[in-house]
Amino acid sequence: MKRELAIEFSRVTEAAALAGYKWLGRGDKNTADGAAVNAMRIMLNLINIDGTIVIGEGEIDEAPMLYIGERVGTGKGDAVDIAVDPIEGTRMTAMGQANALAVMAVGDKGCFLNAPDMYMEKLIVGPGAKGAIDLNLPLAENLHNIARALNKPLNELTVTILAKPRHDDVIVELQKLGVRVFAIPDGDVAASILTCMPDSEVDVMYGIGGAPEGVVSAAVIRALDGDMNGRLLARHHVKGDSEENRRIGENELERCQTMGIEADKVLRLDEMARSDNVVFSATGITKGDLLDGITRKGNMATTETLLIRGKSRTIRRIQSIHYLDRKDPDIQLHIL
């Protein structure tokens, strides 16, 4: 994958973020997501790549655009697989809350795990604790191993986790162990990245979230030399064994079988992201722990983008000023 493509990918997440921002605080997460999807697809189709969406908005019968298997790009360049999350944090965007991002990861063909849209248990650490995690072990044992690898006492360890009812008992367990807990409402991709950022105090990200977001996280963790374990979980094992949850969960397990993936099995980082020749781009929609959000005055907007190239392990923060009325007409429809 040519390195000059990286800046092209940053333009894709910038467009998606600007489109999502148009709907900031308006209480309609689906419209915000749809606008970001449209903008992302338009920009992808301008790039000289032969791209395939492997993590997207759903199956072909669920999503009109950026569905799994969709071909994007001009078809003339490098063959790449693409994992997208046009808005990581649709609810945060709709409610005007922090940490909403537009996210994309691009790798060589066959690089990413083709995971169904289901739940995934995730345990993520930065480079200092690489090799110290194993989801087959109890969480407490993992935390002791991580603290030992980082050469710090357990009570100085910082763990980020989603503040969801399914994690209530885990949060209590963590606090009893004496670790510091940052419970966040949404946005586990941003939390995952923070484990690997040199200026971050986050040591560990743990919790159950979406598998698509897990694969996106795996791409950037691989690029930053961190470590990650994942485990696919059926819905009724996470949300309760109701008739509806069991029906959905059994469909998820059938999808796993069709795709040749084993649920409830620990997945190592190199099974989810098979190469470090990846490019990751994230643009802030709302201000968060990782990136500043968009500010807009009339037809002028500013964005901040995190652009990571795994091959050289280069981390760039790009601040851009956009004159929205000078954008291509197709994009203007979604951002003005």
Q: Are 205 and 160 within 8 A, CB to CB?
A: yes
CA-based Rg of the chain, rounded to a whole angstrom? 19
CA distance 9 to 80: 12
User: Which strand (E) or helix (H) includes residue 170?
Assistant: helix 168-177
59 is in an annotated binding site: no
Q: Which residue bears the tokens 């449209």?
A: 38
Q: Give the integer Cα–Cα distance in Å for 99 and 24.
A: 12
Residue 52 labeled ligand binder: no
- Residue 212 labeled ligand binder: no
Q: How many residues does the chain have?
A: 336
How far apart, in whole angstroms, are the C-alpha atoms of residue 12 and residue 42?
Answer: 8
Neighbours of 268 (CB within 10 A): 14
57 is annotated as contributing to ligand binding? yes
How far is Cα 72 from Cα 105, in angstroms, rounded to an integer? 14
**Residue 165 marked ligand-binding:** yes
The CA-based angle 286-66-233, given to 5 degrees, is: 80
Residue 210 assigned to a binding site: yes
First-to-last C-alpha distance (Å) of the chain: 33
User: Is 89 marked within a binding site?
Assistant: yes
242/31 Cα distance (integer angstroms): 30
Distance, in Å, from the CA atom of 255 to the CA atom of 59, rounded to the nearest integer, reads 11
Any long-range contacts for 162-166 (C-beta under 8 Å, 24+ apart)?
162/186, 162/188, 162/191, 162/207, 162/208, 162/209, 164/207, 164/208, 166/208, 166/238, 166/239
- Known binding residue 22? Answer is no
Question: Backbone dihedral region of 260: left (phi > 0), alpha (psi from -120 to 50 degrees) or beta?
Answer: left
**90 is known to lie in a ligand binding site:** yes
- Coil, helix or strand for 33? helix
Is 33 marked as a binding-site residue? yes
Q: Is 265 annotated as a binding residue?
A: no
Residue ranges for the known binding site are: 33, 57, 85, 88-90, 119, 164-166, 186-188, 210, 213
Residue ranges for the known binding site for Mn(2+) are: 33, 57, 85, 88, 213
Residue ranges for the known binding site for substrate are: 88-90, 119, 164-166, 186-188, 210
